[in-house]
Structure formats: structure tokens, C-alpha cells
Amino acid sequence: MMEAKLLIQETTVVVFVLGGPGSGKGTQCPKIVEHFGFTHLCAGDLLQAEIESESENGTMIHNFKKEGKIVPSEITVKLLQQAMQQSDNNRFIIDGFPRNEENRAAFENIVKIKPEFVLFFDCPEEELTRRILNRNQGRVDDNIETIGKRLKVYFESTLPVINYYNSKGKVQKIDAQRSVNEVFEDVKSVFAKFKPVVRVDSTK
């Protein structure tokens, strides 16, 4: 691999997308991709893909998850870095990351990029619980007890990251309690400086 390929361009733009489970990140990210030409990276999806590839790294990630342990930040960050290096785009939204302070520090140390801003979908706990219960009837991880645990992790681990970036003036807070279209109108205002892209269909 050429050395140049290992470097992420200085013009690269990264936006972290954060919010509790059920806050609408998964609905809004594809709209940002379509409208503003960003590439959508999801740390969870990259970890899952690595597990399915059955690489040595994938086996290690699988074992961490099986034991209920958090995958070390360095592994997650390097997967994100690799995905960015392999993309021909230089605009990225990273969904559901950083989940904690360790993730945040590892990303800045390894990738050497600070986010342009953090898109924060703000939604109260009761509304998040209601949405998760409604959206996936019958899913194992969507019972009240498990939802409570997921929300606890979010409030204890991810909110400090949002507060950190807020202290740096980098958080764009969106009221996520409204309809999908109303929320996206606010999102569009936040991304207004990135001109909407006209994409040419490059069918391979």
C-alpha cells in the first residue's frame, strides 16, 4: 500500500452523530448521506463486519462481545480509520461514536482529526423508552429491563462526551422529539455550509 494512502486528507470532515437509543440517528443519517454526500460510518456495523470476516481481529472482537466486555477503543478506531482511508470521499458522519471518553481520546490520538461538530439528537429518557418499545416488538434486547441498562450506559458514558464537546462549542443540539421531517429541517440548517451534492449515478 502506498504511504500516501495511509494518510487521511487534511480536508477531511468528520461529524460525530450522538443520541440515545431510539433518538432517530438511524433515520436521519441516510438523509444526510443522500442530501449532503457524506459517507455514513457506524462503529457497530464495522465491528460486526470484522467478526463476520473471521479474521484474527474479528475473533478477538467476537470474544470481547461474548464475554460482555467493551471492545478496546483502539480496535474500533482503527476500523474507522481504515474505512475512511479506503473511501474516495472526504466527508464522514460517524454514527453512535464516540460512546465514551476513552473512544473520544483514542480517535483524536490515532486518527489525528477533531470533529467539525457533534450532531446531538436530544430526547428525554421516557420518550426514548417509549420509542424503543414501540419500534421492535418482540426483540430480545427491547424489553424494559434491557432498555433501562442501555439507557444507563448512554447517560453515564456518552453524555460526558457530549458535555466535553459542548464545552468546546462543538455541539449542534437537535430537538429529536418531533416528526422525522421537522427534525431533518433542523439537521439541514446545521449542515447548510456543506452545499447539497448532485450525485452522478456511478453504476459499476
Q: Which of 87, 65, 91 is nearest to 76 (CA)?
A: 65
Q: What is the mean pLDDT of residues 74-96?
A: 95
Domain boundaries, the chain: 22-190
- For the cut 70, the answer to whether the pLDDT of residue 8 exceeds it is no
Mark the binding-site residues for CMP, compressed into ranges: 103
Q: Which of the residue ranges 108-122, 133-147, 180-194 would you say has the lowest mean pLDDT? A: 133-147
Mark the binding-site residues for ATP, compressed into ranges: 22-27, 135, 178
Q: What pLDDT sits at residue 196?
A: 73
Domain spanning 22-190: which superfamily? P-loop containing nucleotide triphosphate hydrolases (3.40.50.300)
* pLDDT tens profile 23-52: 999 899 999 999 999 999 999 899 999 999
Mark the binding-site residues for a ribonucleoside 5'-phosphate, compressed into ranges: 69-71, 96-99, 139, 150
- E-strand ranges in the chain read 13-19, 39-42, 91-95, 117-122, 171-175
* Integer angstrom CA distances of residue 127 from 96, 131, 151: 18, 6, 11
- For the cut 70, the answer to whether the pLDDT of residue 138 exceeds it is no
Mark the binding-site residues, compressed into ranges: 22-27, 69-71, 96-99, 103, 135, 139, 150, 178
